[in-house]
Structure 1
């Protein structure tokens, strides 16, 4: 039986690694190049196949020929060509529960839970978290800036509703010498003890974020409209609120916001300082580095980011933006990922090692419920779609964050 490409590749790799191989090296190199070329061709063919499988015909195209089938909303394959739901909305419209609900004349209620990407994974491009792709549908009522704050954090899954974690209350340090007593120790002598450290055990619960919208029975029978409602209004609204809770949640009746957590660092230019915001961010970054928690991102109010982007040198050239015609360029400043949010008060910013300092714990993915049991809407031939998720933020290392206060404009 002829060898597969993988078997041929492995055979050549073994020969290249063999220090005692005494065959023709030139001939072996030629075989390696040929196998590499064939594998690359196979990969290109596979990528083209996946692209064709996921391609959708534009509106107005002829109907599929016999033997072909145009995919309906919620039936599209994912980016790898795998035909399974890739969003909460798609999982919902493809569910057996919805099919049964429709067959029963929209009577009763049911729910579908859909988990997001695997816990702890974040899609990135050149180290910058990317905005999740959205399916076309309803336009959000209150458009906002890209929701990326949650993607800055370590994200994990909780199996219960109680969240208990240890918070480091040692506070920022001036340098490794204040707590790190590691040293070269002569044989037979006492080893040094590092510290001091102090910890608090925090016990809280995962918080429910939820909202609902009305939908007509006719719209509930249209998969395209259902996907639009769930993605455009419900899912977006949960993400919108989650981002703001991560920043400013009060930690009792709400999630634990980073800005409301005791022990985070702070930086503010001295009285009379003329430092512009660009310089202030750089000095605050140094403070984070001295605390031994190198910052990786900064959250800014859109007005403050505007001031930084429009900062010019003596020649009238922008200092931060090299090409104003490229709206897709990653937002970066002093090596930090920049996230803008109206939840951040103007004149302030939050800088920190987000993945080091906090974890977003999620009990479940987005849960979608539908019911005809709303007293007022039932008589109006209208249903209810509700979306909810359970989550909370564990700010276990407050010293990893620095709240920045910019100097007042003069």
Structure 2
């Protein structure tokens, strides 16, 4: 920097050189610029202070408090989710089968959906299943009237008549399974001798024998494959399929509860069913007993264990035959066809289930006599990463659940075979009893049987004429015979005849 002092001047000017050697602005100009910049800085500081005037002094403490509030809100949201799950489990069965309830009950499905959505933004749009082989593929080509179906897809979930309430498994108390093995405390013998005992005398000892039954927790599962095009063109198809698959799993669960599970060689037993040997007692059936008589005997034999039966389980076909039983004047014994009648027999509610074999019955306290373990309820999962789904543009929809179950109070359960159900034909009427022939009338379509000392000596089908004829007479002189008619498995009362003299 060079400074030059001019003694003859009235004012003193100081000049400076810049880095390149040129003459820089004088100090007066720099001073003006500095004052301007200071004014701008003051205005900026004032503006910033104005913007921060509402910020608390203890900013760090305030941020920490806000973080705790956020954690509290997250906890409340989690509690709401849990409450929704519990509410869904308490819904009526038909309400539990809609897609919203399925997603609420199966939080894993929601998590899977989140994963699928997140991954769809990167590489793929699903999770992987290994070792799944196709059983059935649903495509638009496989759906008749696909144009009409696509237009009416919004109504597809309205077809609820294809499934029914599964009341059997709804009556059972299901316990969460915490391992791959389920242990059941099974009561085999109970003999209670409690009573009023005088002072200084010994008290009686009751007998209560318990056994431990060990079963494995197994998986019930099935799946279908659906084309992406079908899912795209029919928006409600996925909801319908998921609902039906979940129902199919629960239907199979009910089957195992009733009939039990027979494992293949080398596999573990999962379910011990109501109708399996040693899981129930029986009643004595007289040859004249009807199905209604047998159910009455079963009710009171079950009640003899001091545990009142809460249901009778029948096949729908058997219950239908019972409902159609008519009195001698033609009226229906179990009410008018148009009346809304709750299925009840001998004061005990009737549950009819297709899983109960035709001709069989079960009676007892189902809610106490059967115990089940569930590792999870029905889970629905969809995936494109299954085999060659990607190249074939398919989606695999899988439904599965883990569970086990067994009878724990076999003495309180009564089961067995029902006699033929319905109205027995009228007893045959004998009009001719000679050595040459035995004739009479009987119900059309029935089979007339002539029995001597328990041995059938004549059998004949009655035609449209309503008449029967045996020639010669199969009953020997002096022998006493019983003539009966059998129709639809029901046998009439017998007509007694004595063999004629020659």
TM over 0.5: yes
Runs of 4+ in 1 over 6 A off after TM superposition: none
- Verify the 8 A CA contact 1:265 1:398 in the aligned structure 2: yes
| Residue in structure 2 matching 1:258, options 258, 274, 278 | 274
Q: Secondary structure at the match of 1:109?
A: coil
CA deviation map 1:331-390 (0-9, x unaligned): 222222212222222211111110120112111112222222222433210010111101
**1:366 counterpart = 2:378:** yes
* Inter-partner Cα distance in structure 1 for 2:110 and 2:157: 14
- Once the two structures are TM-superposed, the CA of residue 160 in structure 1 deviates from its matched residue by 2.1
Residues 110-149 of structure 1 correspond to what in structure 2 (within 5 A)?
137=157, 143=162, 145-149=164-168
| Residue in structure 1 matching 2:283, options 260, 264, 267 | 267
- Once the two structures are TM-superposed, the CA of residue 89 in structure 1 deviates from its matched residue by 4.7
* Inter-partner Cα distance in structure 1 for 2:182 and 2:249: 20
- Once the two structures are TM-superposed, the CA of residue 287 in structure 1 deviates from its matched residue by 1.2
Q: Which residue of 1 aligns with 2:329?
A: 315
Distance 1:363 1:136, change over 3 A: farther
Residues 44-55 of structure 1 correspond to what in structure 2 (within 5 A)?
none
- Once the two structures are TM-superposed, the CA of residue 254 in structure 1 deviates from its matched residue by 4.2
- Verify the 8 A CA contact 2:186 2:409 in the aligned structure 1: yes
CA deviation map 1:266-298 (0-9, x unaligned): 12512x22x222222112111111232321111
* Inter-partner Cα distance in structure 1 for 2:119 and 2:159: 26
In the alignment, structure 1 segments of 5+ residues that lack a partner are 1-76, 112-134, 174-178
* Inter-partner Cα distance in structure 2 for 1:188 and 1:268: 44
Distance 1:205 1:403, change over 3 A: same
* Inter-partner Cα distance in structure 2 for 1:386 and 1:257: 26
Distance 1:224 1:104, change over 3 A: farther
Q: Which residue of 2 aligns with 1:68?
A: none
- Verify the 8 A CA contact 2:225 2:395 in the aligned structure 1: yes
**1:324 counterpart = 2:337:** yes
Q: Whose RCO is larger (CA < 8 A, sep 6+)?
A: 1
Q: Which residue of 1 aligns with 2:114?
A: 96
**1:402 counterpart = 2:414:** yes
**1:203 counterpart = 2:214:** yes
Q: Which residue of 2 aligns with 1:226?
A: 238
Q: Secondary structure at the match of 1:266?
A: coil
- Verify the 8 A CA contact 1:153 1:355 in the aligned structure 2: yes
- Verify the 8 A CA contact 2:115 2:126 in the aligned structure 1: no
* Inter-partner Cα distance in structure 2 for 1:105 and 1:334: 64
- Once the two structures are TM-superposed, the CA of residue 100 in structure 1 deviates from its matched residue by 2.8
* Inter-partner Cα distance in structure 1 for 2:277 and 2:404: 13
* Inter-partner Cα distance in structure 2 for 1:247 and 1:228: 27
* Inter-partner Cα distance in structure 2 for 1:110 and 1:104: 15
- Once the two structures are TM-superposed, the CA of residue 317 in structure 1 deviates from its matched residue by 1.7
- Once the two structures are TM-superposed, the CA of residue 250 in structure 1 deviates from its matched residue by 2.5
CA RMSD of aligned residues (A): 3.1
- Verify the 8 A CA contact 2:303 2:412 in the aligned structure 1: no
Q: Which residue of 2 aligns with 1:378?
A: 390
- Once the two structures are TM-superposed, the CA of residue 210 in structure 1 deviates from its matched residue by 0.3
CA deviation map 1:184-236 (0-9, x unaligned): 122333221111x32221111111100111122345567633221111x2111
CA deviation map 1:232-264 (0-9, x unaligned): x21111111111110112264442211115141
Q: Secondary structure at the match of 2:415?
A: strand
- Verify the 8 A CA contact 1:294 1:352 in the aligned structure 2: yes
Q: Which residue of 1 aligns with 2:252?
A: 241
Q: Which residue of 1 aligns with 2:345?
A: 333
Name the TM-score, length of structure 2 as normaliser.
Answer: 0.53
Q: Which residue of 1 aligns with 2:169?
A: 150
Distance 1:311 1:102, change over 3 A: farther
* Inter-partner Cα distance in structure 1 for 2:99 and 2:183: 33
Distance 1:268 1:346, change over 3 A: farther
Which structure would you say has the larger Rg? Answer: 2
- Once the two structures are TM-superposed, the CA of residue 144 in structure 1 deviates from its matched residue by 5.4
- Between 259-268 and 281-290, the greater mean CA deviation after superposition: 259-268
**1:392 counterpart = 2:404:** yes
Name the TM-score, length of structure 1 as normaliser.
Answer: 0.64
* Inter-partner Cα distance in structure 2 for 1:217 and 1:314: 61
Q: Secondary structure at the match of 2:117?
A: helix
* Inter-partner Cα distance in structure 1 for 2:406 and 2:299: 22
Distance 1:98 1:385, change over 3 A: same
